[in-house]
Structure formats: structure tokens, C-alpha cells
Amino acid sequence: MVELDLLAALLDSRWRIPGTSIRFGLDALVGLVPVLGDVTTSLVSAYIVVRARNCGAGNGLVARMLGNVLLDTVGGSVPVLGSIFDIYFKANNRNIRLLRRHLKSYAEAGSWPEELYWRMTRFPAEPISVQVKGKIWKIQVSVG
């Protein structure tokens, strides 16, 4: 989850415009390059959705996340105005919030389905922190 947070922040809110509270990321900058910029950031955004699916996101959540990516891609593809759109829409940050809300529902229920545990441990380099009923469990799987 930490890796996805960092990736979303890099794409959507890494830097701040001095003197304002407006944040922007690589999505707005790379989007200035016609076609190639938007395609590139859309592929990275799709990677976040794939990882969310591997963390147990259901079809409805994945569809909503893909809708955010599609809207970001279409809105961001308009020359110059698209980059302004990217500064304000922030599809990747939205998708991370959706995923966190989804994972929080498991924590509040007090149980993690075995299938979700195995999906989350497919990426062993990433430690996963899970809070269940006030206790924080760190899961890390070693390969090798």
C-alpha cells in the first residue's frame, strides 16, 4: 500500500505551486506532451488499479477506479487545458482513497478473508500493515 501511495502522490500531488495550496504531479507535467504523455500516465494509473485488484478490490470498485482513470485520460488529453484538469481531478489520489476505504471495511469487520490475505502477499517486497480491532499487524513475506 505504501508503494501505491507514493506512486499516486508522485502522479497527482508531488509539488505545490508556491504561494498557493494547489498541488500537482507528473500527470500534469507529462500530460503536456501530446498523446504520449497521457498514454504513459494512463498506463501507470492502470497499474494502480491492477494492484488494487490484487489487494481484493471487487468488480464494482475496479470499475469505479477505471472510470476515474478514463475520465482523467480523456479530460487530460485536451491540449493545455488537460493539464489544468489533471491538477484538479487527481484520479490516482481518488483511487487510493477508494482502495483504503475498501480495505478499512475488512479491518472494521475484524476479519480478513484468507483469499484476500493471499492476494495481498503476492507482492512480497511490500510490507503490509493491517489494523484489526486496534491491533496493528505487519505482514511481510520473504522469498528466497
Q: What is the pTM of this model?
A: 0.74
Q: Which three cell numbers stand for residue 11?
A: 502522479
The confidence band for 136, taking pLDDT boundaries of 50, 70 and 90, is low
Residue 127 has pLDDT above 70, yes or no: no
Number of Cβ atoms within 10 Å of the Cβ of 64: 15
Which residue in 23, 1, 19 sits closest to 10, CA to CA? Answer: 23
Mind listing the pLDDT tens digit for each residue in 45-91?
999 999 998 887 889 999 999 999 999 999 999 888 988 999 999 99
Higher pLDDT, 38 or 121: 38
Q: For the chain, first and last CA: distance in Å?
A: 22
Under a CB-based contact definition with an 8 Å cutoff, are residues 30 and 41 in contact?
yes
pLDDT of the residue at 2: 77
Question: C-alpha grid cell for residue 111?
Answer: 476479519
pLDDT in tens, 16-40: 999 999 999 999 999 888 888 989 9
pLDDT value of residue 113: 58
